Structure formats: structure tokens, C-alpha cells
Amino acid sequence: MGSLRSIPYVLWVVYEWKSYIKRVVFVLSYTQASFIQAQVSYSSDLIMVYLRLRQAALCSALTAPAVFGLAINGTTPTGLHNTTTLPYRDTSLCIEARVDDLLSRMTIEEKAGQLFHFIIFSGPNGTLAPANPELNSTDFVVGTQLISHFNFASQIEDPVEAAEWHNRIQTRALETRLGIPITISTDPRHAFTQDVRTGFSAGGLSQWPETLGLAAIRDADLVQRFAEIAREEYLAVGIRAALHPQVDLATEPRWPRNRNGFGEDANLTAEMLTAYIRGFQGEEFGRTSVSTVTKHFPGAGPAQHGKDAHFAVGMNTTYPTKNPDYHLIPFKAAIKAGARQMMPYYSRPVGLEEYESVGFSYNKPIVTGLLRNTLGFEGVVLTDWGLVTDTTVAGKPWDAKAWGVGQLSEVERVARILDAGCDQLGGEARPELVVELVKTGVVSEARLDISVRKLIREKFILGLFDNPFVKPEEAAKTVGNAYFRRIGLDAQKHSYTLLKNDEDVLPLRSVPLSTKFYVEGFNTSFIEARGYTAVNTPEEADYALLRLNAPIAPSDPIEVGTDLQSGSLEYTKEEKARQAKIYSAAPTIVDINFNRPAAVPEIAEGAAALFATYGSSTEAFLDVVFGKDGAEPQGQLPFDLPRSDEAVAASLEDQPFDTKDPLFKFGHGLRYRTCCDGA
């Protein structure tokens, strides 16, 4: 291990405000650039020490208005100015006393606003977004509807701009009567998925394999390191809630959202998600934590025929073998790990007589009976997006996911969701419906208080009432820094799962620079930058390198053009024939991005080498192929790979590992042969 060029040091600083607040603040000072540039080995212990010191540095505990660092035209934001002497602003009081005081001051309208978790975008150059045909302006949803929880749905390319946007929306929130700060959440945004419904590619953040790739590495410490790095990047731009982890089990291979989970095995998923939650929330939930939303309760993996519940054709979660308990194992682990929030899925249970066949968020025996009473979950239950209102998203119809209760009116749907035991409605901005329910006596204000108390308590624990702002200059140093990117790239390489390696064709460490390559799935400039020649046909090549996406096909017209297609897991006959010509022309190394457990026996037969990957860059691929700097595959399959569509159709949705004669089994993963392995 090389020596660090600067040594982190600590200072104890006493901060005093208005003579009645005295606190000791732990402030860490260090030189990040020196740490990044230092020639160090990326050992588990060193990474853990670095991250925990960095996260301690973020805990500033400064509360005075002057310290917030933002003002409007040089003056204190109105809401904060009017509330600075109220008990809920007094940091010397315990959190419960502050919650009690704030709750007692809130109107029905202000309480109703807390019960909604809406989508939000930034405007040009980090400004607050104006209204558009699909969404009201940020000013309206914050200032008039009094909503204070938002899912940030803009790509983060420029961390400084994202941080500045965050500070602007917090400033707007402080102008409201009580100055309740904003909680910003996000879907996953550290990998390669790009779908506004499920996640974002990394953009300006460090980039890692999808969650399946983390599971393939089988290293809980690495999962925690990922989550700690992601937490630091989130904190730098003001994101305080993660709409993940997704812990659904891949027992139905056709389900398109298998890409976002940890695979097919419940116990592996439980181990990985425990580390994931610990990394995001920290050893103790507090000012430097990111709250996690574990989803989708009680397990969306047994999707009937693999169809997704974003669409009416996929509204059913089915249990043909009465096996819901297997799918509950990850959620029990999440609760034990301290999960703060849970999200039920859109779908409705079929095949379980004890539960009504209505959407899980509408289902009181599921939310209150099973989740709260049986499993003992006491945190926030946030519904999935868009259960109440028919609307449009990106110009396409987005029908309310009111599966099994479609006959109910909008206000009746909200009443049923609250009665089921949910605390907050995701993807909706309809506080007027809650106000109507209270004023007509259908829902009591006391019922609102139960949920609002949880939601504002979370804000107090996160420190948002004391300092909701971030420092854009720190975001520039932290988000996507070279150190974080290096660790993410290493994880991409380690996640590579080698399924076949005929005659130890890989790694190509010793091929001469005169070697000719035919490539598909990436630009020839990548191979040429390494000094090799790219040719136009397989027949001219010494080797072919193919990077393929797993087969994708719609099973229903409504899936066409979406990232939620649940059709065939096999390539078409035409594509199989096209590939076969390549395999016969040159030794072919194939890399398939397995967002679902695809059926590819013809590739396992025809290719010289076959990788399963789960989101990786071309740089990572080529490093593993050539064994650059010791790069080699370390992954193991996180699910069985079926042999055919026929085998999948004959399997049962709620049972793991039940496809007949799988092509490769869970846990399969070869290693490169070394000189020590012998002949």
C-alpha cells in the first residue's frame, strides 16, 4: 500500500448561537484531492475508513438562519423568519417535543400536503421548473399544495447545478407558513438503466453494475461500500431518501424488473440488502443518513406469466404453490436491518384465499395485518406511483393502477389507501382529496396525524429542519470523483460471470497487436485505442467480440416500446441464424447483459467464451477480455438460466429454481486458469 500524501485530522469546534444553544460539533478536515491521487490499494478497510470519515465531515449541526447560507435578496426566507422562536425550531429540545409542537400548528391542508410524494424535475440551469402540460410548476406544488416530498426525476450530469437546484427548492419551502423543508428522493441512479419509471443511468455520478451485478460478486462488504459511496454522492446534492433497494425475487424469469433486484435466492438477497441498507442509512439513522424505501412488499417476483403490473394485463401476483413465505424472507431481513420505509407493489394477490384480490396498497390485511401487525414494521409505508389519478407521462397515458378497485372514485381510492394503513401516496399530487375526506368526516384528522407524525419525524432526524442546504462546491468535489469512479469500474469488472471458456481462450493477454477483431455492440474506436485492428466482417477477423442485450420482446401490444417487455427469453430465429454465421467464422467472445434470465443455449454451444453481465461499460468489458492489470471475472450467477421458453412456461411463478434442466445454475461462474492451476 502506498503512503497517503496528506493525513486526515480532526478538530473539535464549539459553536454558540444566541446564548442558549451550545453544542460540540465534530468537524473533519481533510484534503480529498490528495487522497484520490494517492497511490493506494483499494482494500476494504481503507475504503471503509475513508467513507466513514467523509460522512462524519458532513455532519455540521449548524442551525442558525445566518448559517444556512442562503437568503432571498439578502433577507431571511419568510417561513424561517416567522418561525425561528417557535419550539419546533429549538434544537435543544428532543425530537419528539419538536414533532409534537409542529404537528399542533399544522392546518389540515398542511397535513394533507405531507401525505403526497410527487415527481419533480429541475428547470434550465438548475432553476425551479415552470408548469408544463403534464405537471404544475415547482412553485405551485411547494407553495400552494404544500407538498414537501419529491422524487427527483432529472438526470444529474452537473452536480453543481443539481446542488444549486436543491438549494433553490429548499429556499422556496422556507417561504411557506411553517417553513417545512423538502425531502428529495430518487430511484436508483448509479448504474446503466435509463427508464423514468424505474431508474436512471449514472450520468455525473460514479457508475456501478446493476444490483444483480452486486449480487453476482457475492461480497456484502462491497455492497455496503457501494451504498456508502452512493450515500455520499446523494448527500452532496441533497438527496435524502432512496427509493430502493428492490428486493423482489426472480422466481418468474420473464418479469422485466428482475434486473433491479438481487436475483432468485431469498437468503442471498437478505444478506445483500442488509449491507445495502446499512450503507445508505449508517450504523445509526441520523443527520448523515439516506432513508431507504424497501420494495415491493410483499414481493412482486411471482408476476403472473411475467407481465408487469404497470399495465392492467400484469395486475396479478400469483401463488400457484402457496409460497408467499419465501418472498417475505428479504422483507423480514430489511425490517431487522432497520429499514425506514416500505413500498407495496401495484399488483394484487391471486391464489391466496386469505387476501382480497385488490392492489397491495389498497389491501388492509397486507399492509396493516401482515406488514405492521405480523412482521412488526413501524415505519413509513409509501405507495407505488400513480394509484389514484389517470394522467399522462412523457405524452403517453398513465392509467391509475387501481387494480381490483377500479370502480372506486378518486376520493374513495385515497380513503381506502389510508384505511389500508399506508402513510403516503407516491406519484400523486392531490392533497385536496385528503382535505375533502377530513371535512366530510370520512377520515379523521387523528388518522392524518398518525402518518404526518412519522413523515415529519423523519425530517427532524435527518437534520433537515436544522440545515436543509448543501454546498455546491462540495458537490463538485464529491460526486463522480475519480476515486469513486475507479471503485465502481472495478466492481463492474468483478461482476463479470464467465459461463463458458473453451480451451481457455480467455484472457487474451498475449495476442499480438496485429490481431484483427470484428466487434458488435460497441464502437470500433475502443479496440483501436488499444492498438488492435478492427475489421468489417467476421471472416477477416482473428476474433469476434459481441456485446449483446438479452432478448427482449413484448407479450402484449401495450408493452411495445417500453423497458417493461415480458415476452420471449429467446432470440428470434433470424437473430440466432445471424449469430451462428459469426460463430462459425471466428472464435467469438460474447457478453450478454442479462437484465432477465434469458435462454441462450445456442450461444453457449457456438461461442468460444460467454459472459453474463449486469450493466457494465465497454472499458470494463475489454479490460476483462484482455486481463488488463489482472482484471478477471469474479461473478456467480444470481439466478438459474433457463434452457427455453417452454421450460419457463412450465415453471411456477412463486417457486425458485424450478425450470427444467437449466442451461446454467445459480452460482455458476468460472475463473481464468492461472499458471498455478496446472495442466
- Per-residue pLDDT, averaged over 246-251, amounts to 98
Radius of gyration for the alpha carbons in the chain, expressed in angstroms and rounded: 26
Among the candidates 472, 505, 530, a domain finishes at 472
Collapsing DSSP states into helix, strand and coil, what is residue 553? coil
602 with 525, same domain? yes
- Per-residue pLDDT, averaged over 375-397, amounts to 93
324 with 431, same domain? yes
- Per-residue pLDDT at 199: 58
**Structure-model confidence comparison of residues 508 and 32, the more confident one:** 508
Where would I find the H helices in 257-340? 266-281, 324-336
- Per-residue pLDDT, averaged over 53-60, amounts to 49
**Structure-model confidence comparison of residues 20 and 249, the more confident one:** 249
79 within 8 A of 176, measured Cβ to Cβ: yes
Distances (CA, A) of 197 to 78, 253, 310, 398, 425: 36, 20, 9, 11, 16
304 with 425, same domain? yes
- Per-residue pLDDT at 421: 98
pLDDT tens-digit readout, 579-627: 999 999 999 999 999 999 999 999 999 999 999 999 999 999 999 999 9
Cell of 233: 454522492
pLDDT tens-digit readout, 297-347: 999 999 999 999 999 999 999 999 999 999 999 999 999 999 999 999 999
363 with 396, same domain? yes
pLDDT of 34 over the 70 cut: no
480 belongs to a structural domain: no
pLDDT of 492 over the 60 cut: yes
- CA-wise closest residue to 306 among 569, 599, 488: 569
- Per-residue pLDDT at 625: 98
- CA-wise closest residue to 462 among 336, 237, 291: 291
Per-residue burial over 427-458, b if 16 or more Cβ lie within 10 Å, else e, is bbbbbebbbbbbeeeebeeebbeebbbbbbbb
28 belongs to a structural domain: yes
- Domain of residue 544 covers 486-677
527 with 608, same domain? yes
pLDDT tens-digit readout, 424-448: 999 999 999 999 999 999 999 999 9
466 with 495, same domain? no
**Which domain CATH number covers 434?**
3.20.20.300
Neighbour-count burial of 459, counting CB atoms closer than 10 A to its CB (0-12 exposed, 13-18 middle, 19+ buried): buried
Among 11-15, 554-558, 608-612, the range of highest mean pLDDT: 608-612
- Per-residue pLDDT at 76: 56
537 belongs to a structural domain: yes
pLDDT over 70 percentage in the chain: 86
- Per-residue pLDDT at 202: 79
CA–CA separation, 253 and 173 (whole Å): 44
479 belongs to a structural domain: no
468 belongs to a structural domain: yes
Strands (E), 508-607: 516-520, 533-534, 543-549, 588-593
Lowest mean pLDDT among 53-62, 82-91, 405-414, 543-552: 53-62
Under the banding of pLDDT at 50, 70 and 90, the label for residue 77 is low
Among the candidates 429, 447, 472, a domain finishes at 472
**Structure-model confidence comparison of residues 373 and 392, the more confident one:** 373
pLDDT of 2 over the 80 cut: no
Under the banding of pLDDT at 50, 70 and 90, the label for residue 6 is very low
272 with 307, same domain? yes
What mean pLDDT is reported for the chain? 89
384 with 267, same domain? yes
- Per-residue pLDDT at 563: 87
CA–CA separation, 257 and 596 (whole Å): 8
Number of domains in the chain: 3
Phi-psi region of 464 (alpha: psi -120 to 50; beta: other; left: phi over 0): alpha
pLDDT tens-digit readout, 630-646: 999 999 999 999 999 99
Under the banding of pLDDT at 50, 70 and 90, the label for residue 13 is very low
413 with 499, same domain? no
Cell 462459425 locates to 584
313 belongs to a structural domain: yes
- Per-residue pLDDT at 562: 87
pLDDT of 463 over the 70 cut: yes
- Per-residue pLDDT, averaged over 450-473, amounts to 98
CA–CA separation, 527 and 537 (whole Å): 15
**Which domain CATH number covers 578?**
3.40.50.1700
pLDDT of 54 over the 90 cut: no
Among the candidates 472, 504, 535, a domain finishes at 472
pLDDT of 552 over the 50 cut: yes
pLDDT over 90 percentage in the chain: 83
Under the banding of pLDDT at 50, 70 and 90, the label for residue 393 is confident
- Per-residue pLDDT at 455: 98
SS3 of 433-464: HHHHHHHCCCCCHHHHHHHHHHHHHHHHHCCC
52 with 98, same domain? no
The catalytic residue positions are 384
CA–CA separation, 474 and 451 (whole Å): 34
94 with 61, same domain? no
478 belongs to a structural domain: no
517 with 458, same domain? no
25 belongs to a structural domain: yes
